[in-house]
């Protein structure tokens, strides 16, 4: 329906029994994403996931980006 694509394909949680990909970033237009990834952190069994969006600037008009904290 929305044609979402998963950006994260690596494991995001590693425990003694098995690694799993439980943290997701779903994108409807991957061409608007500049970088994404998974970062291992030492104090948790969940890894940090991140995604940064490309911003385009045009001269003479206002651009705004709405950010929603989940």
Is the pTM for the entire model greater than 0.75? Answer: no
pLDDT at residue 24, rounded to an integer: 79
Q: What does the alpha-carbon distance between residue 30 and residue 25 come to, in Å, rounded to a whole number?
A: 11
Degrees to nearest 5, angle at CA 50 with 44 and 53: 170
- pLDDT tens readout for residues 4-54: 887 877 777 777 777 777 777 888 888 888 888 888 877 777 888 888 888
pLDDT of 23 reads 77
Q: Residue 59: inside a domain, yes or no?
A: no
Range of the domain at 49: 5-53
Residue 40 lies in a domain: yes
CA distance 24 to 10: 10
In a domain, 42, yes or no: yes
Q: Does residue 23 belong to any structural domain of this protein? A: yes
Domain-embedded: residue 11: yes
Residue 69 belongs to a domain: no
Residue 70 falls inside a structural domain = no
In the chain, the number of structural domains is 1
């Amino acid at each position: 329906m929305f044609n979402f694509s998963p950006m994260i394909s690596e494991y995001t949680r590693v425990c003694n029994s098995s690694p799993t990909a439980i943290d997701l970033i779903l994108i409807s237009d991957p061409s608007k994403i500049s970088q994404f990834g998974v970062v291992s952190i030492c104090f948790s069994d969940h890894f940090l996931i991140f995604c940064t969006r490309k911003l385009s600037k045009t001269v003479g008009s206002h651009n705004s980006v709405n950010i929603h904290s989940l």
